[in-house]
Structure 1
Amino acid sequence: MKSEKIIKKDPGGRRRWYDDACGTAMALEFVGERWSLLVLRELMFGPRRFGEIKAHLTGVSANVLTQRLENLERAGMLIRRRLPPPAGAQVYELTPWGYEIEPVLQTMGRWATRSPAHDPTLPLSPASAMLSLRTMIDRDKARALAGATIGFRLGGDRFVARLTADDLAIVRGEPMGVDVTIDTDPTTLAVWIYVKRAIAAAEAEGTMRIVGDRALAERFADLFALPAKIGNEGNIE
């Protein structure tokens, strides 16, 4: 009698990679394919159009991005919807369960940046820059600035950050009525925040402009630091 091979599938309808009850294995069924986690990262601050997602994922093809979006939708992590008139465009948006992956992204980010191979001067997307700030902030130090608001103009992307007693809340939106606005690109922002390059140097190059409370901008930058590299836990970065 000829035996039949049983093909197991995940909840999204795809063939399973692992026959394993471990939660980590299950997570990889959902987001283990290349680009999947980065797609979720790009949607972390609100809905995005297909072209907006693709523009910030350098190297992904339209075909592959379409496949990843479809798989994540089938898995229940995002939805497609159409914006009301006059926009009328189709956007992709995380579900409440999809948003729950943010702490996972933060933990992975803190873990990976401990590698000596991590280079904070490489390009990154606006959403990645904002997620980095939410990940690397020193919440104990940040309490002294609770209530402060910082706006970011990063190319065509706009964000507003508000410091609270225990968090850094960031939303997409035009920075109006904020204490200070930082007009730059994501890479220059990361170099300023993590390499501790002086604002004046970036301003002299024309890559950064500060509008508003300059002293607050300086204090804000001091709230962030990358974790110690592996093998250097006792050293000061």
Structure 2
Amino acid sequence: MAARDYGQYSGITRAMELVGERWALLIIRDLLVGPRRYGELAAGLPRIPSNILAARLKELQAAGVIRRAPRSRVIVYELTAYGRELEPVVLALGAWGFKALDDPRDEQIITPDSMTMDLRTAFQPQVALSLPATAYAARFQGAELLVRVDGSALDVRRGDGPVDFAFSMTAGAGIRRLISGELAPEHAIATGAVEVLRGPSDLLSRFANTFHLAA
């Protein structure tokens, strides 16, 4: 079913034939956050042409990576068990790509699903085990997330709820610099890169220790 045949016999070649087409891994990234309707996938990938989205979904279904499922009288796309096996691959690829990440261009956006996966990528469970359970409300441009950390367990989702610390960061470059350690938490607050909305400001340091990736 692969749209591209590389003419080689190997596991990596076959993987590239199944998920290496343009946009395929970004669709999988968003579905790792949770099931999505067609329109939600399109909204999360605003530059994807509708015919390409339809083609990628059809190809991924044929490969057994995703499936269509009825949910509350609507059809959603979700990963199969086989598709969910790609999560460590996607997280590792995100960590690798973070090393080459520059400051965002004006036309680049942050979506709730992309930031959710970036936070999963940066999560340091061994550090979180030594810290008290903490709930954060985080705003990154248009992405507003509820982030709960309890030991090695991480839960990131959209929505509201009780939190220990709420903060806003309007510039995408700020979160990259904070997570990489380039921007110290206290300096981020002092310079206005981070706006504390609620809770003690020293919890930003806990957040930065819990979510860290070396650039």
Q: TM-score, normalised by structure 1?
A: 0.72
Q: CA RMSD in A?
A: 2.8
Can you give the 5+ residue segments of structure 2 that lack an aligned partner in the other structure? none
Mapped contact 2:165–2:200 kept (Cα < 8 A): yes
- 2-side partners of 1:187 and 1:153: how far apart? 10
Mapped contact 2:174–2:193 kept (Cα < 8 A): no
Identity %: 33
Residue by residue, what CA displacement relative to the aligned partner does 1:208-231 show, whole Å, maximum 9, x if unpaired? 552334322332123334324xxx
* Alignment partner, residue 111 of structure 1: 96
- 2-side partners of 1:172 and 1:92: how far apart? 18
What's the CA shift for 1:42? Answer: 1.3
Farther-moved stretch of structure 1 (93-102 vs 61-70): 93-102
Query: Does 1:101 pair with 2:86?
Result: yes
Q: TM-score, normalised by structure 2?
A: 0.79
Amino acid at match of 1:199: I
Query: Does 1:49 pair with 2:37?
Result: yes
Mapped contact 1:138–1:223 kept (Cα < 8 A): yes
What's the CA shift for 1:98? Answer: 1.7
1:23 to 5, 11, 36: 11
Amino acid at match of 2:157: R
- 1-side partners of 2:142 and 2:35: how far apart? 15
- 2-side partners of 1:148 and 1:162: how far apart? 6
1:54-69 alignment, distance < 5 Å: 54-69=42-57
Larger Rg: 1
Amino acid at match of 1:121: P
What's the CA shift for 1:63? Answer: 0.8
What's the CA shift for 1:146? Answer: 4.3
Amino acid at match of 2:211: F
1:1-237 alignment, distance < 5 Å: 13-14=1-2, 17-84=5-72, 88-115=73-100, 118-122=101-105, 123-153=109-139, 159-167=145-153, 169-183=154-168, 187=172, 190-191=175-176, 193-194=178-179, 195-196=182-183, 198-200=188-190, 201-202=192-193, 208=195, 210-228=197-215
Query: Residues 64 and 108 of structure 1: is their aligned pair in 2 closer, same or farther, counting only changes over 3 Å?
Result: same
- 2-side partners of 1:71 and 1:78: how far apart? 9
Amino acid at match of 1:218: S
Query: Residues 211 and 97 of structure 1: is their aligned pair in 2 closer, same or farther, counting only changes over 3 Å?
Result: farther
Mapped contact 1:47–1:91 kept (Cα < 8 A): yes
Q: Which runs of structure 1 show a deviation greater than 6 angstroms over 4 or more consecutive aligned residues?
A: none
- Local SS of the residue matching 1:160: strand
* Alignment partner, residue 234 of structure 1: none
Farther-moved stretch of structure 1 (70-79 vs 158-167): 158-167
- 2-side partners of 1:16 and 1:33: how far apart? 8
The count of corresponding residues between Structure 1 and Structure 2 is: 206
Mapped contact 1:46–1:172 kept (Cα < 8 A): no
Query: Residues 41 and 66 of structure 1: is their aligned pair in 2 closer, same or farther, counting only changes over 3 Å?
Result: same
- 2-side partners of 1:15 and 1:126: how far apart? 30
Residue by residue, what CA displacement relative to the aligned partner does 1:156-206 show, whole Å, maximum 9, x if unpaired? 755433324334x22424231232234555826624633526135146xxx
Farther-moved stretch of structure 1 (149-158 vs 13-22): 149-158
